[in-house]
């Protein structure tokens, strides 16, 4: 056992014996790993990831040391948007498995001490949801149409959409339907693809249906929910025209369809429902908002537990910018008594290795940023493959692209498939143990990035993640940080749990005073005496 492992064990024993009065809910400082189900592991050889595939790879997650997984939607769906278009909220899509597979996955995960968070999609259903089929058949003015947002068109013959709203995926947010009598009729709203009609959350039946869906999954033992488009459920009364142009899929400009006051009533209601279950069931909001202050309103004490901090994800690799966003986050959330929720990548954004410049530099920076993130107070979300240092795949052939963004943007935006390429597990031929084949091609170059290859390489990104998560189990769990006095390019802070993180975000080596005992680092750090040199674009953790 190395010196640092010995230290870690001692602290662990102390933590385990602390009184139950100090017990914190599991999610407070959790590391939650996002599984994009289609791309994680294929258990039946059809080229598409599935629930039995995930079960067969749970040991990877246990060895990595995560506290929970968040599964992207695996519900019955025509898959117009990778499953974010749900046909039946209580059924598993056949391509992903069965309800029994799901129950078995939850049981196996729980046995390994891994919690399970599922993805709830309340803003819209699939156009194949029975409610939508019923609405089309029932015609204008019917109760079935009132579950969605149907409106007459503008202009003398109603041929113009009801307002100027644009779809997040490009094009108008309205599609005109053919009425049961065969004539062109009303329009329905879809903030995303036409296959994803928006629900009317002012309709009580919609509200009670989702309460019921939540109970269905909570009763099956899920530990939490990720709420898709959590800021979108209500649209401003009268559906007024939008006044600003859209700026792509990650746009955070205030809009008449985002962040309306009424969403908070729903989350107060859901919080009470979650609280009525034993075992700290939690909810995390996916909400792209213009300010941290607007974000903090989703995690007020009687609302949701977490909201992804997309301001952090959107920050450039720059020490000043990092420090500013970290400070602002901690401060703003403290005002509502909440801890931050950090994230660098997910299935909607370009992988952070690539955002930070790609290649060796991108990887160096990604490793640095993740050590910073994992040292911060609060919870952290990881995205499958980042522990392998995977990059965005930017050269997928046109004909394999499946993201609706590709077509809806008139083939100008290649969409999000590049971060959804299947995980390389082992072997030396694509798809590297993902399955016999894969729905997106896996780059040859990932041969050296497989889980197997990285497991045997002590300097690999995977080993660094494992080490960091091991230390975090013991010295994580912090609620505050204090900045250290460091040179400009260095980010240095100490948490109240005794962890010190130093990150040299500049391109020159920097000498600093040794802040404690070295625990983990992204590059070799030589400590001799009272000072040490931090290599360019590197981070290290120290025990104060």
Active site members: 228, 286
- Six-digit token pair at 70? 């968040």
Please list the residues that pair with 341 across neighbouring strands: 379
50 versus 348: smaller Cβ distance to ligand NOJ: 348
Binding site partner of 317, from ligand NOJ, Ca ion, none, Cβ cut-off 5-8 A by kind: none
101 counts as binding Ca ion under rule CB under 5 A = no
383 versus 434: smaller Cβ distance to Ca ion: 434
44 counts as binding Ca ion under rule CB under 5 A = yes
192 counts as binding ligand NOJ under rule CB under 6 A = yes
42 counts as binding Ca ion under rule CB under 5 A = yes
List all residues 6 or more positions away from 15 whose beta carbon is below 8 Å from its beta carbon.
474, 477
102 counts as binding ligand NOJ under rule CB under 6 A = no
The dihedrals phi and psi of 393, each to the nearest 5 degrees, come to: -90, 110
Q: Residues in contact with ligand NOJ, total (CB under 6 A)?
A: 9
124 versus 355: smaller Cβ distance to ligand NOJ: 124
The dihedrals phi and psi of 151, each to the nearest 5 degrees, come to: -145, 150
44 versus 337: smaller Cβ distance to Ca ion: 44
SS (H, E, C) 192-217: CCCCCCEECCCCHHHHHHHHHHHHHH
81 counts as binding ligand NOJ under rule CB under 6 A = yes
Near Ca ion by CB under 5 A, which window of 38-46, 258-266, 279-287, 419-427? 38-46
- Six-digit token pair at 451? 């889980």
Task: Answer left, alpha or beta for residue 226, where phi above 0 means left and psi between -120 and 50 means alpha.
Answer: beta
348 counts as binding ligand NOJ under rule CB under 6 A = yes
Interface positions, 210-269, toward ligand NOJ (CB under 6 A): 228-229
**CA 441 to CA 214: how far, in whole Å?**
35
CA dihedral 346, 339, 492, 483 (to 10 degrees): 150
212 versus 436: smaller Cβ distance to Ca ion: 436
Nearest CA among 132, 140, 105, 135 for reference residue 35: 105
Strands 31-35 and 68-71 come out as: parallel
Burial of 97 (0-12, 13-18, 19+ CB in 10 A): buried
Contact by Cβ (8 Å): 408, 171: yes
Smallest gap from Cβ 383 to Ca ion, in A, equals: 20
84 counts as binding ligand NOJ under rule CB under 6 A = yes
Smallest gap from Cβ 348 to ligand NOJ, in A, equals: 5
Smallest gap from Cβ 142 to ligand NOJ, in A, equals: 26
48 counts as binding Ca ion under rule CB under 5 A = yes
Chain-centre distance for alpha carbon 25 = 20
Interface positions, 282-311, toward ligand NOJ (CB under 6 A): 286
Smallest gap from Cβ 347 to ligand NOJ, in A, equals: 6
The answer to whether the peptide bond before residue 431 is cis (omega within 30 degrees of 0) is yes
Which DSSP category does 281 fall into? -
Binding site partner of 46, from ligand NOJ, Ca ion, none, Cβ cut-off 5-8 A by kind: Ca ion
Contact by Cβ (8 Å): 295, 335: no
286 versus 386: smaller Cβ distance to ligand NOJ: 286
82 versus 161: smaller Cβ distance to Ca ion: 82
Position with the least CB separation from ligand NOJ: 84
Burial of 331 (0-12, 13-18, 19+ CB in 10 A): exposed
401 counts as binding ligand NOJ under rule CB under 6 A = no
Binding site partner of 229, from ligand NOJ, Ca ion, none, Cβ cut-off 5-8 A by kind: ligand NOJ
391 counts as binding Ca ion under rule CB under 5 A = no
**CA 516 to CA 495: how far, in whole Å?**
13
- Which residues would be at the binding site for Ca ion (CB under 5 A)? 42, 44, 46, 48, 50
- Which residues would be at the binding site for ligand NOJ (CB under 6 A)? 81, 84, 121, 192, 228-229, 286, 347-348
């Amino acid at each position: 056992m190395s010196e640092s492992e010995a230290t870690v064990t001692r602290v662990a024993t102390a933590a385990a014996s602390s009184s139950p009065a100090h017990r914190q809910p599991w999610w407070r400082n959790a590391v939650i790993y996002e599984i994009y189900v289609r791309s994680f592991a294929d258990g039946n050889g059809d080229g598409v990831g599935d629930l039995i595939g995930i079960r067969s790879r749970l040991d990877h997650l246990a060895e990595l040391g995560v506290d929970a997984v968040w599964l992207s939607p695996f519900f019955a769906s025509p898959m117009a948007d990778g499953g974010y278009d749900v046909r039946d909220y209580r059924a598993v899509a056949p391509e992903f498995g069965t309800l029994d597979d799901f129950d078995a996955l939850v049981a196996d995960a729980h046995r390994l001490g891994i919690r399970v968070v599922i993805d709830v999609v309340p803003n819209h259903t699939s156009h194949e949801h029975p409610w939508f089929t019923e609405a089309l058949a029932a015609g204008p003015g019917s109760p079935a149409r009132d579950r969605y947002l149907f409106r007459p068109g503008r202009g003398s013959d109603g041929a113009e959409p009801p307002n100027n709203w644009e779809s997040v995926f490009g094009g108008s947010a309205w599609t005109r339907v053919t009425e049961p009598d065969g004539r062109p009729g009303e329009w329905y709203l879809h903030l995303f693809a036409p296959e994803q009609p928006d629900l009317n959350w002012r309709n009580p039946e919609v509200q009670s249906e989702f309460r019921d869906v939540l109970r269905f999954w909570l009763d099956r033992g899920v530990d939490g929910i990720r709420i898709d488009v959590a800021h979108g459920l209500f649209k401003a009364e009268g559906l007024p025209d939008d006044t600003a142009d859209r700026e792509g899929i990650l746009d955070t400009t205030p809009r008449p369809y985002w962040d309306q006051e009424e969403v908070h009533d729903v989350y107060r209601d859901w919080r009470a429902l979650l609280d009525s279950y034993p075992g700290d069931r939690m909810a995390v909001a996916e909400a792209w908002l213009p300010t941290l202050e607007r974000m903090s309103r989703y995690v007020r004490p009687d609302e949701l537990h977490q909201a992804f901090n997309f301001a952090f994800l959107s920050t450039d690799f720059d020490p000043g910018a990092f420090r500013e966003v970290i400070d602002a986050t901690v401060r703003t959330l403290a005002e509502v008594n909440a801890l931050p929720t950090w994230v660098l990548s997910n299935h909607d954004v370009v992988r952070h290795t690539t955002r930070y410049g790609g290649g060796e530099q991108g990887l160096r920076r990604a490793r640095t940023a993740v050590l910073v993130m994992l040292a911060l107070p609060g919870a952290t979300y990881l995205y499958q493959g980042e522990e392998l240092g995977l990059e965005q795949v930017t050269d997928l052939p046109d004909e394999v692209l499946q993201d609706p963004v590709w077509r809806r943007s008139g083939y100008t935006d290649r969409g999000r498939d590049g971060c959804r390429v299947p995980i390389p597990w082992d072997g030396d031929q694509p798809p590297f143990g993902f399955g016999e084949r894969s729905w997106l091609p896996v780059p040859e170059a990932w041969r050296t990035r497989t889980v197997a290859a990285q497991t045997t390489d002590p300097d690999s990104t995977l080993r660094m993640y494992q080490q960091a998560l091991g230390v975090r189990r013991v010295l994580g769990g912090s609620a505050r940080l204090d900045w250290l006095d460091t040179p400009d390019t260095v980010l240095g802070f100490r948490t109240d749990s005794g962890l010190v993180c130093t990150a040299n975000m500049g391109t020159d080596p920097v000498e600093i005073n040794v802040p404690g005992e070295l625990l983990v680092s992204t590059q070799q750090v030589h400590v001799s005496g009272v000072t040490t040199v931090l290599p360019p674009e590197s981070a290290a953790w120290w025990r104060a």
